[in-house]
Amino acid sequence: MPARFQPRLTIRARLAIITLAGLVVLGGLGLFTVRGAYRALEVAYGQSMAETAQAMLGQIGGSVVARLDQLERLSDRAEVTARMRAANRRPLDAGPDTVLSELLRDAFIDAERRRFGRSVFAQVVLIDRRGLVVAATDPPARPLLADRTWWRGAMARGRHVGGLAYDPLLDAHGLVVAVRLDDARGQPLGVAKALLSAGWIIREAAQAAQLAGNTDIHLVTADTRQIFSTRPFRFLEHVDDRRYVRASRAATGNGAGGDDFVQVTEGGRARVYAFASSRSAPALGHLGWTLFVGRDARQVLAPAEALELRISVAYAVVLLAGLFAAGLLARSLARPVLRIRDAASKIAEGDLEQRVDLKRDDEIGDLAAAFNLMSDRLRDSYHALTAEIAVRQKAEADMAAQAHRALESEIELNTLIESTDDFIWFVDREGRLVLWNSAVSDYRAQRGKGPVRRGITAADMLPADKAAEWEELYRRTLSGERPIIELELSDGRHQTFAFAPMMREGEVIGASVFSRDITVRRAMERQLEQLASTDPLTGASNRRRFMKQAQVEWERSQRYDSPLSLLMIDIDHFKSINDTHGHAIGDKVLKAMVMECIARLRGTDLLGRLGGEEFAVLLPQTPAAAAAQTAERLRQALAELSVATDNGPLRFTVSLGLACRVGAEDTVEECLRRADAALYKAKAGGRDRLVVDPSASGVALESDRGLAS
């Protein structure tokens, strides 16, 4: 069969085959699981489920006690006790202890993030025995907290565990715990208070849920608000209308005991729910939480392990199949697309020799071929344009020489100078006009400057403000030089003027001037420069131009010891925008962000796209405080910006990192590294905020919506 009639396997066909294979595998596994699971089990394990529920609550309570112990161990650290004693003697208007605040962040939040990837502690605060804030990982809304229930409880009883609370500054739900800190003599130094993340409580419950197997688990507060469930739920949703809640209340009210089980009917099927109260759990007894554990009443424990083994094996097979399919898909799609992307980036940086060699007979192969064709045509156009400029430059020099050689024959000279639209004229040693072509006459007539006549000075042929420069050029020409200048005329045109001495018998008798309109050439050169220095999507400077201009401004800043700031900007969740709305919307977001930034930046500032959704702003003659204000205005303006989509307006936020030039030994690369590190902290701190590099003195290190308000 000829090659052009051979069917090819497209990407869509490949995906369809993989999806169909996955469905077949899933269907077979589902049938296997259903047949293995269709067995009747006995209903006789209610009390065992209640004990499991109580053990789960005990695990959560034990974790709370462990966090209290961790807070209490602060009093064992000599540095903490010394600073707490000093804090109790400080003035009432003294600010927080920054050293102790950093110690708290490192000991509790950063340590757990390094170990587990995220921290249980949303906030840790130290308060002296007068109720004044000494140090905090995130400063509270006010410095005096002596009126808080948890402070009074910890000071009176040593420890306090409160209920769920919402902190508007942190925008987080959490469990408030506090512990009194005593010195070696047993004298109170103050209180250590922490806000444990509500997400941590859910994770602890989820971890405990693994002990009970395939069950329904619900954790409910004393006022029947749900804080965890294995089913879909809304945090703090009222569940007093649920059957298992009503049944548990009835059983408790009839004297069935606080930790027991009930049987209810849901969706036509009988289920057994065991419930346990937190009153016997460590540190949780006063909270009144209730944990519900439910399973199908027809199940029994005997075949549970066999069922679990079959399900595990089945899903392991599914997982391996999925991983294998994902690997095939990544190899088939991602790698060639990334190669095309990398080649396009190098072309944008000026490397026009890039090609992508892919031997594929599908859409990606077509894309690679189209990309190579585009690259070839762009390279050919660039070389042709460069060659044309070189030819024109050489032609200009040749014309000046040719005009000089043709002076001996007036007929030949007139024929020569009238054969071009360029301006040609000749002057004697006194600078008086002796010969010119019709292009000069036409130009002066069109602009109302009067007719050209012999004897007028050569200065009349140039703009009035260039007379002195002309005299110098004429003097150099009479001395044997061949100067060439370029002028931008009042009508916006660019004109070159090539001067050459006229020789007769070895003596200079005058000068010839050849002038050509190079407006089109300059426009093409500017277009080439624009292509080489501008990001084609957004119009911002590309990385090469940005780094080049940054080095120039950096050297100027060091030479005059003037301030200079660098700002890194990254669009938050940009990958999610592309995945959800498509790359076309992602491109609109990039363009909208660049247009908004350019509109709000000064003419001396420079916006550059360093790659992807990451941008940088160069702020010459800008100290840290002014740069931080500019960055904050940009953040607020971009947060209010929206991009139209088919699903309505789309809003987005950015994270910003700011660094400034410090010292004579500082470099652009080091400053960019510090700004990038500050940007990383802004991302890690929750996004939609500005973080300033610590080396920038006199500016708050972090700004977000909460602090800005």
Residues with a known catalytic role: 613
CB atoms inside a 10 Å sphere around CB 418? 12
- Angle of helix 574-581 versus helix 583-600 axis, rounded to 10: 140
Burial tier of 709 (Cβ tally within 10 Å: 0-12, 13-18, 19+): exposed
Distance CA 516, CA 496 (A): 5
Q: From CA 60, how far away is CA 57, in angstroms rounded?
A: 5
Give CA–CA dist 163/149, Å, rounded. Answer: 11
Q: What are the strands, taking DSSP E only, across 58-139? A: 121-128, 133-136
| Angle between helix 410-417 and 363-405 (nearest 10) | 150
Q: Enter the tokens of residue 113.
A: 């993030």
Structure tokens at 149: 């229930």
* Closest to 49 measured CA to CA, from 273, 278, 271, 308: 273
Three-state DSSP state, 564: strand
Spatial separation of the C-alpha atoms in residues 543 and 506, rounded to whole Å: 55
What residues does 18 pair with on adjacent strands?
none
CA distance 143 to 96: 9
Two tokens, residue 405 = 């050689």
Alpha helix locations (H) across 510-582? 519-533, 543-560, 574-581
For residue 239, which of 222, 221, 226, 252 has the smallest C-alpha distance?
A: 226
Query: What are the C-alpha distances in Å from 597 to residues 272, 458, 671, 675, 676?
Result: 61, 50, 21, 18, 19
Q: CA nearest 564: which of 658, 678, 633, 450?
A: 658
Q: Which two tokens stand for residue 390?
A: 């070189």
Nearest to 497 by CA among 534, 478, 469: 469
* 3-state secondary structure (DSSP) of residue 88: helix
Query: 């100290």: which residue's tokens?
Result: 623
Q: Using CA atoms, how far apart are residues 403 and 199, in angstroms rounded to an integer?
A: 86
Query: Which parts of 601-662 fold into alpha helices (H)?
Result: 624-640
> Going by DSSP bridges, is the β-strand pair 689-692/433-436 parallel, antiparallel, or unpaired?
unpaired
Rounded Cα gap, residues 666 and 555, in angstroms = 11
Backbone phi, psi, residue 504, to 5°: -145, 120
SS3 state at 414 = helix
CA 381 to chain centroid, in Å, comes to: 35
- Tell me the residue ranges of DSSP E strands in 572-632: 606-611, 614-620
Max Cα distance, the chain (Å):
133
Distance CA 498, CA 55 (A): 96
Residue 605: CB atoms within 10 Å: 19
Residue pair 195/122 in contact (Cβ under 8 Å)? The answer is yes
Query: Cα 601 to chain center, whole Å?
Result: 19
**Sequence-ordered list of residues with C-beta below 8 angstroms from that of 153, at least 6 positions apart, any chain:** 159, 160, 162, 178
Structure tokens at 359: 């031997």
Give the span between the Cα atoms of 131 and 153, in whole angstroms. 12
Sign of CA pseudo-dihedral 52, 57, 60, 63: negative
